[in-house]
Structure 1
């Protein structure tokens, strides 16, 4: 009887750990998709409405959310707060700016990679990449290490 109880508790512990890991993986994937979609939408809106737009992290942290605003007057067009903050490491820019034609602008803009990082380890399974041409792509690479780790 004691052996069955020990085995049962061990299996329960393994199941809870796997479930928590799955929950974190799904949360990171959702955050990456939402960020990529926000950058695409801002680029499209800039081009369609001939507005220079800025996408910047909330409180200086992409992992908390982001805000899209008009560059000339700072009017907030859209704000997205993540339900549960994640760790996001940016390769360079603190903000992303789009010209009236929808092209990314900035001094020597060479693109930006936003790594959506695991809390429980040094890895990054998802990257949101904005190329110098303005193309936004979502990549998955389980072997990639988060910058700064």
Structure 2
């Protein structure tokens, strides 16, 4: 879908703890939220849902909860490695977050994943079909 890199943000726009949320259109026309998380040497991008329950967003609009280089699911506490997306504990143990390809060049993060197209910064509005959440936990 993407014909070339699409500028998303400066690396400095991605919080050191938390996430930067944006929305993409996938090849099938559906929309999906994606989070950028800061790594010691760059950024990683993951689709914004827990592998245990795909209707559970990791970033609900105020940044994903993170601890010691891991992204936490706010419902069950599963912890995903921010670099690899792999979960080794909790209800999502053995699962890996869905990666979205990005690059960093001269301090600018760009979407390079040919399977999706950047739509806008921020998440999908709940009245646009994004499932709500049944949890009110925050970290």
Larger RCO, structure (CA 8 Å, separation 6 or more): 2
Q: TM-score, normalised by structure 1?
A: 0.24
Structure with the higher fraction of residues in helix conformation: 1
